[in-house]
Chain A
């Protein structure tokens, strides 16, 4: 009776104390993060120094030092996948911003009533399932009378292109899909940034006789710079992680001559096709270093200079 009463009292105390409440409220995050975040990550770091196939059980692990890293750095496919990833990140990322900025400016200035609907149309691909998108595009890009080839033939008389089968065509095809998917996201970012540029700057410039082009060049673009930094960083990080589009469009293999095998796809294949979990872990850490380095570089290149405008 007595211990029980004190236990409930203790529980009540814990329940009621504002001192402990925040820890209780944060605890689901902590537990999930420890079990599904920290632990696996540390395990993968440890695994990067082991040779191991999961089918042979935990005992079959063998310490190989930097062997996995050395293997990755000498692996032709690893470098190829890095090149593919970089190519795709640039070819899909830069046009996104080059198109999204003028588009956002036009939407900001010209559209009032239909703006939400139009922005919605550009944004819609972003919320759609990548699998549905990839399936849809692999039919559109079909060699024999896919819609893209049919249109090219009707308009320009171009012979059917084997978009998904030839190494030199599959990258542009994937870049188009990625561009299509993320354009609207960037438009929304730039629209938000445009709203923070004070209107009187434009009015003052107009009074001084600056035309629209000069206003764009001297007011709009500098005003968008912080968002450009942020948006390009997001595109770089996102581009380096590109997985689903190339994975689905190439049936999980990386395409003819591995032309569409991004680093993330190769990582997946290393682990789940070739059963080399140690090698895949080492590769993922190498890739992580690349992502951090490139993010830092982007930061250096685009970050607004401190002190003075």
Chain B
């Protein structure tokens, strides 16, 4: 690796660094444009630095959309989805990792099989089942169906099989600990790092979810953020400044999470692939 290098190290650094800046540029301009009016955004040359129109953009945003309510729904759905996913996936993952039971192999194959199903296969059936259940326009249609996600079960099983010693579970059982108590008091604390990762991944997935709400949500009052923002775009005179402000606000939580735990997030999101 320290052989004769044709490409000077600084050139490699510069190339990779410049690429990274290009990757980040759209984010920068999203935040810059959020502070400019529609006409300023399309000036020639376009604005490269922050302006003073953020309050005006926010005013337009909240006038055209129930924006804060949409934000609240997004948060509510993401939190509910995260809580349920953590519960269901840790239970199933624990069972697959530490119990021997009939049909275990077949059931786990089933879990993995659901991961291979393309998302478009689900679009029409999922609308129909929600329609049949009367869940159209209900938020539980967004957080319940995916709460036992194959990815989450897989992640939990992988982690539990190394992090939870069989002897510990056996010992607890000997001491007369019930199965739910073992799960809650012994297993869950040991799974905490993996729960954190799965929680992050689930929260972000739900926060960004567009197809789900697109298919089942009907009233603008109950939209989550992505759907609300898109509805603003489809009007004739798109208010780009307001739209950018809304997009920027929708992106801020993700940026914060990413800055705080990028390592964990990257590891979690590529877990199925890397392991």
Contact = CB atoms under 8 A, between A and B. Distances in A.
B269 interface: yes
A111 B16 contact: yes
A148 B8 CA distance: 31
Interface stretch (A1-9, A24-32, A67-75): A24-32
Interface stretch (B49-57, B58-66, B92-100): B92-100
Interface residues of B, number: 98
Residue of A54, A120, A145, A184 contacting most chain B CB atoms (<10 Å):
A120
B233 interface: yes
Interface string B13-32: 10111011101101101100
Residue of A32, A119, A237 contacting most chain B CB atoms (<10 Å):
A32
A77 interface: no
Given A43-B129, A107-B16, A109-B1, 17 more contacts: A15-B180, A18-B99, A26-B107, A28-B92, A33-B114, A125-B23, A127-B208, A129-B250, A130-B208, A131-B226, A131-B227, A131-B230, A135-B233, A136-B247, A180-B26, A212-B3, A284-B121
Contacts of B266: 119-120, 123, 188
Interface in A240-266: 240-241, 243-244, 248, 251-252, 263-264
B15 A106 contact: yes
A17 B121 CA distance: 39
26 contacts: A15-B178, A22-B101, A25-B91, A32-B148, A35-B129, A39-B129, A40-B122, A43-B129, A54-B131, A107-B16, A110-B13, A118-B16, A118-B17, A121-B20, A122-B23, A124-B23, A126-B269, A130-B208, A180-B26, A189-B270, A199-B1, A213-B6, A230-B273, A237-B118, A264-B119, A264-B123
B20 A241 contact: no
A-B pairs, top 6 by smallest CB distance, nearest first, are A40-B125, A22-B99, A25-B95, A36-B145, A29-B148, A121-B20
Nearest to A252: B234
Given A18-B173, A111-B16, A131-B210, A121 B24 contact: yes
